[in-house]
Amino acid sequence: MLSVAHKPVLLKEVVTALAVQPGGRYIDCTLGGGGHARAIMEHSSPGGQLLGIDADPEAIRAATLNLSHFTYSTLLVNDNFVNLDDICHRYNFYPVHGILLDLGLSSLQLANDPRGFSFQYEADLDMRFNPNQETTAAGIVNTYSESELANIIRSYGEEDNSYRIARRIVQARPIHTTLQLAAVVEDAVGGRKGSRIHPATKTFQALRIAVNDELDHLEETLRKTTDLLGIGGRLVVISYHSLEDRIVKQFMQRESQDCLCPPRMPVCRCGHKASMRLINKKIITPSEEEIEQNPRSRSARMRVAERIDRNAKPYEYRRNRKPDFKHRGFSLN
């Protein structure tokens, strides 16, 4: 597994968006092979520090090798990023200059991983990032009701044929492997119909999202980032499908508005104060050159926001844009 290299997506753009600076302190919530983390460390030297998180112990192993030059300034934690606040408090790693989430799967996980993330090779239907959690893809496929399966496939895969696929899955149970499931889905939708995209793509995405509870975890984690960023610190999120991107977009838009009352309300009643400002109003996507070199980057969409002081008036904020990182202690084990 480690022989496959994961090419970090939008690498230069991530370093720019995080405004990486020497001596800065960063969190990579989705460490993967450590490609982004390594670039962050190179640009934050001397003195930079990084907390890297990944739910997958294989990713931690790969990133440890990739970051071997930076052993003393990096702390790699095998955990779910939904526990971000606890992890940061445990290691006193806050406030930070930047937080990165590069969502989804790494090439290491897609290439021949025995956990069956891809339908391109035979493997058990597992799909857990964290091998210790209970729910597996086989568990969902073989025990959920037809309507529960259809719901998952429709909501998380945005698949129009969800009911047909769910019915065929229930008829074909038990299903234990990736190729078995891919064949059942292909059969349910009547073959490939000349498309280059495999008909099981959306069903596999839906199952993976359900197994790892990806969308709820993303929403909860985004909410935790604001309190961990120092004033002027950056939040950078790369997503790979519209469900993730919608959550990121809505979060950043909400957090960059002072009042969330319906427009017809004459006075604000919610008292909501903006905690961020948007750095890019339009999403940042890979160049054609990057897509050519790394076709997996094709669907990447990056959004960036900057933490602001909730209590500062806009003009004060503009005058005092330097991150304020002095007010809390910091130690790295």
Ligand X SMILES: C[S@@+](CC[C@H](N)C(=O)[O-])C[C@H]1O[C@@H](n2cnc3c(N)ncnc32)[C@H](O)[C@@H]1O
Query: Two tokens at 194?
Result: 């000349």
Q: Nearest distance from residue 296's CB to ligand X, in Å?
A: 9
Point out the residue whose Cβ comes nearest to ligand X.
32
Cβ within 8 Å of residue 209, ≥6 positions away: 156, 157, 215, 243
User: Considering beta carbons, is residue 125 or 189 the nearer one to ligand X?
Assistant: 125
Cβ within 8 Å of residue 120, ≥6 positions away: none
Please list every residue from 88 through 117 that binds ligand X, using CB under 6 A: 102, 104-106
User: Considering beta carbons, is residue 49 or 294 the nearer one to ligand X?
Assistant: 294
DSSP collapsed to 3 states, 113-180: CCCCCCCCCCCECCCCCCCCCCCCHHHHHHHCCHHHHHHHHHHHHCCCCHHHHHHHHHHHCCCCEHHH
CA 32 to chain centre: 10
Q: Nearest distance from residue 60's CB to ligand X, in Å?
A: 9
Please list every residue from 211 through 250 that binds ligand X, using CB under 6 A: 217
Q: Nearest distance from residue 160's CB to ligand X, in Å?
A: 26
Q: Nearest distance from residue 186's CB to ligand X, in Å?
A: 27
First-to-last C-alpha distance (Å) of the chain: 29
User: Considering beta carbons, is residue 70 or 81 the nearer one to ligand X?
Assistant: 81
Angstrom CA distances, 259 to 50, 165, 265, stand at 34, 43, 10
Could you say which of 49, 80, 205, 225 contacts ligand X (CB under 6 A)?
A: 80
User: Considering beta carbons, is residue 49 or 162 the nearer one to ligand X?
Assistant: 49
Among positive and negative, which fits the CA dihedral 153, 159, 165, 166? positive
User: Considering beta carbons, is residue 31 or 150 the nearer one to ligand X?
Assistant: 31
H or E element, residue 86: helix 84-90
The upper half-sphere exposure of residue 71, i.e. CA atoms within 13 Å in the direction of its Cβ, equals 5
Unique residue bearing structure tokens 């990084």: 50
Could you say which of 70, 129, 251, 325 contacts ligand X (CB under 6 A)?
A: 129
Q: Nearest distance from residue 33's CB to ligand X, in Å?
A: 4
CA dist 119 and 138 (Å) reads 14
Q: Nearest distance from residue 192's CB to ligand X, in Å?
A: 27
Query: Two tokens at 303?
Result: 């959004």
Closest of 304, 302, 306, 305 to residue 102, by C-alpha: 302
CA dist 25 and 97 (Å) reads 5
User: Considering beta carbons, is residue 10 or 182 the nearer one to ligand X?
Assistant: 10
Closest of 157, 165, 154 to residue 242, by C-alpha: 157
Please list every residue from 4 through 63 that binds ligand X, using CB under 6 A: 6, 8, 30, 32-36, 53-56, 59
User: Considering beta carbons, is residue 34 or 95 the nearer one to ligand X?
Assistant: 34
Q: Nearest distance from residue 6's CB to ligand X, in Å?
A: 4
User: Considering beta carbons, is residue 136 or 161 the nearer one to ligand X?
Assistant: 136
User: Considering beta carbons, is residue 54 or 186 the nearer one to ligand X?
Assistant: 54
Q: Nearest distance from residue 223's CB to ligand X, in Å?
A: 14
Unique residue bearing structure tokens 């529960």: 148
Could you say which of 70, 81, 119, 325 contacts ligand X (CB under 6 A)?
A: 81
Q: Nearest distance from residue 276's CB to ligand X, in Å?
A: 21
- Applying CB under 6 A, the site for ligand X has a residue count of 22
- Beta-bridge mates of residue 177: 124
Residues that bind ligand X (CB under 6 A): 6, 8, 30, 32-36, 53-56, 59, 80-82, 102, 104-106, 129, 217
